[in-house]
C-alpha cells in the first residue's frame, strides 16, 4: 500500500497543481492532506476549492483554525485571507478533523496532542517515541514546520515531515510532499520535490494583500 501526504498549501494553487500531477504519476492508493490550506498565499479560495473538490481526507491545520467564523485571530493576513474565502470554503475548513488514521499510519498537522506545538526537524528519539506512542501508530506524518525530513525509531516506526507545498522553509523553493509505502518490514518514506512556475506564482499576489513583497520573497527563496 502506498499513500501520498501533502500539507501546508497556504493559498498557492500553482504549487498544489504541480504536486497533484506528480502524485497522480506515482499512483498511490491513498492521498491525504495535512492542513493549512489557505493562509497567506496569493489565492486562498482556489487552493481550498481544489482540495475540497479532490474529495480526499484532509485534516485541520492551525492556520485553518484562524480562518473559521469564530476565530479570535485577527492579524491583517488572517483578515485578508478570510475575506478571500467563500462561505462554503470557510465552512469546509471549520469541518476538518484533527487527524486521520489509515491503518497504522496517522496524519496530524503538528503533533498527536496539539495543532500548534512543534516537532523540530531532526528531533531526538525520545520525542519521536512519544509521537508514535501517543498516536498508536507505526508511522506518523505531520506538516506545520515547512521542513521535510524522515526520522526513525528502531523497533517502533517512522515520523515523517512532508514539508510544505506552498512555502517550504528549507532553502529549496520547490513544492514538497511525502510518499509512503507499507511493505512486509513496515513503512518506508520518500520526500518528493516538485518544480513549478515559482516566479509566475510570486508575481500573482493581489494588490490588496497585506504583505505581497514579503510573501513573494518566501515563495522565491524557500526561506521564512
pLDDT > 70: percent of the chain: 99
| pTM given for the model | 0.97
- How many domains is the chain built from? 1
Read off the pLDDT of each residue in 18-33 and give the average, rounded to a whole number. Answer: 99
Read off the pLDDT of each residue in 82-107 and give the average, rounded to a whole number. Answer: 97
- In tens, the pLDDT along 141-182 reads 999 999 999 999 999 999 999 999 999 999 999 999 999 999
What is the overall mean pLDDT for the chain? 97
Distant-in-sequence, close-in-space partners of 216: CB < 8 Å, separation ≥ 6: 202, 203, 205
Inter-axis angle of helices 44-54 and 87-95, nearest 10: 60
- In tens, the pLDDT along 36-76 reads 999 999 999 999 999 999 999 999 999 999 998 777 667 89
The strand pair at 30-33 and 2-6 is best described as parallel
Residues 193, 179: contact at Cβ < 8 Å?
A: no
Q: What integer pLDDT is reported at residue 75 of this predicted model? A: 85
Q: What integer pLDDT is reported at residue 166 of this predicted model? A: 99
Is the model's pLDDT at 200 over the cut of 90? yes
Residue 56 C-alpha cell reads as: 480526499
Q: What integer pLDDT is reported at residue 107 of this predicted model? A: 99
Helices (H), the chain: 13-26, 44-54, 62-66, 76-84, 87-95, 125-135, 198-202, 212-221
Q: Give the CATH number, domain containing residue 25.
A: 3.60.21.10
| Band of residue 140 on the pLDDT scale cut at 50, 70, 90 | very high
Is the model's pLDDT at 91 over the cut of 80? yes
Read off the pLDDT of each residue in 28-42 and give the average, rounded to a whole number. Answer: 99
Query: What range defines the domain where residue 21 resides?
Result: 2-221
Q: What integer pLDDT is reported at residue 73 of this predicted model? A: 62
Amino acid at each position: 500500500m502506498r499513500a501520498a501526504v501533502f500539507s501546508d498549501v497556504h493559498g498557492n494553487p500553482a504549487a498544489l497543481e504541480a504536486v497533484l500531477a506528480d502524485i497522480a504519476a506515482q499512483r498511490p492508493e491513498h492521498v491525504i492532506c495535512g492542513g493549512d490550506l489557505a493562509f497567506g498565499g496569493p489565492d486562498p479560495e482556489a487552493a481550498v476549492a481544489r482540495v475540497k473538490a479532490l474529495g480526499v481526507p484532509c485534516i485541520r491545520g492551525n492556520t485553518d483554525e484562524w480562518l473559521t467564523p469564530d476565530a479570535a485571530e485577527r492579524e491583517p493576513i488572517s483578515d485578508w485571507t478570510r475575506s478571500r474565502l467563500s462561505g462554503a470554503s470557510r465552512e469546509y475548513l471549520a469541518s476538518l478533523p484533527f487527524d486521520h488514521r489509515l491503518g497504522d499510519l496517522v496524519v496530524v498537522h503538528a503533533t498527536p496532542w496539539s495543532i500548534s506545538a512543534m516537532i523540530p526537524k531532526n528531533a531526538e528519539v525520545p520525542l519521536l517515541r512519544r509521537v508514535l506512542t501517543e498516536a498508536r501508530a507505526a508511522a506518523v506524518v505531520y506538516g506545520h514546520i515547512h521542513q521535510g525530513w524522515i526520522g526513525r525509531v528502531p523497533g517502533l516506526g517512522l515520523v515523517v515531515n512532508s514539508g510544505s507545498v506552498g512555502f517550504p522553509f528549507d532553502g529549496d523553493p520547490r513544492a514538497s510532499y511525502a510518499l509512503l509505502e507499507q511493505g512486509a518490514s513496515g513503512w518506508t518514506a520518500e520526500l518528493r520535490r516538485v518544480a513549478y512556475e515559482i516566479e509566475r506564482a510570486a508575481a500573482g499576489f493581489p494588490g490588496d494583500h497585506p504583505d505581497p513583497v514579503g510573501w513573494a520573497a518566501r515563495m522565491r527563496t524557500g526561506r521564512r
